[in-house]
Amino acid sequence: MRLPHILLALLVTLIWGTNFAFIKVALYELPPFFFAAVRFFAVAFPLVLLLPKPNCPLWMIALYGVLIGFGQFGLLFLAMDQDITPGLASLVVQSQAFMTVILATLFFKENLSKIQIAALLVSLSGLLLIAINSHLSSQGTEVSGQNITTLLGLVLVLLAALSWSVANLVVKKAGEVHIISFLAWSSMFAVPPLFAVSYFLETLPVIRFGLYISSNHTWAVVLWQSVGNTLVGYGLWNYLLRLYPAVIVSPWALLVPVFGLSASAIVFEEPMQDWKIIATLLILSGLAINSYEEAKTRRGQQK
């Protein structure tokens, strides 16, 4: 990737990584599916009234909206509400990088060299180190009330990661589209299932109570989720997916748990032990190997 695009990838991972701490703050007051519904409603309106329909089939727009809205963030918020910590959630959801690479090689016939496979394994070892130690620390009392992680939480976040990986392929299939328009229109399709699930599962009394106790901080998080995380973060991410193969772009998401753990350390006072530093170095090494191999391949194609 070119340097400007590497900087964009770093910006996206910074936004997404720190976002997990913000999500947890809002979940103290708003029920998860309602929170997700409001977030995507704020993305869709009023932009869908101002921007034309993206130049791609409507089913792609709808599928992306359901996958990202309900599949990724609905399930992620549900897991983070009570069943997984912000730091560990930022880690597990990045399994989408490996899922996207596998799906891209199967459906788009994108090539994956042995060195790139090795790079993914190096980064995966860092993720596994974080997963093992995060699970162990969740049994202790490092951060009272913040280290609860259940099997249900892990399964929900893995399903969220799978939804994200399939959504990545939908973006690739959609081709050249106006990114902001695509995000706004797809968000419109995310809202109905999220509101429906919230109404039937979370019930109106819970929703009303959440609205009653919600603070300015919570609505600032909702605004950030809509503008910063979705329009800026996913806008730049989808832009990079249009420029480069998924096997090049997706591994950058492995930096998200690095920023996620750092944000949790600052907001929730999680300590940064040696194993977290080692895991960070492993993830960065994997990304460096992958970027070097990609640059070498591009130079070879230009000769």
Q: How far is CA 235 from CA 8, 31, 174, 226, in A?
A: 11, 26, 14, 11
Q: How many CA atoms lie within 13 Å of 225's alpha carbon, on the beta-carbon side?
A: 29
Q: What is the pLDDT of residues 266-301, one digit of tens each?
A: 887 766 778 778 888 888 788 778 767 766 766 666
Q: What angle do CA 177, 35, 216 make, to 5 degrees?
A: 110
Positive or negative, the CA dihedral 231, 236, 240, 246 is: negative
Q: How many domains does the chain have?
A: 1
Closest CA to 92 of 114, 68, 76: 76
Highest mean pLDDT among 9-23, 141-155, 193-207, 277-291: 193-207
Q: How far is CA 223 from CA 43, 59, 133, 220, 234, in A?
A: 9, 27, 33, 5, 15
pLDDT of residue 148: 64
The pLDDT of 34-45, averaged and rounded, is: 94
**First vs last Cα of the chain: how many Å apart?**
17
Domain holding 197, by residue range, is 3-302
Q: What is the pLDDT of residues 183-240, one digit of tens each?
A: 999 999 999 999 999 999 999 999 999 999 999 999 999 999 888 888 888 889 888 9
Give dist(CA 13, CA 153) in Å, integer.
22
154: left (phi over 0), alpha (psi -120 to 50) or beta: alpha
pLDDT of residue 7: 92
Closest CA to 233 of 53, 45, 18, 60: 18
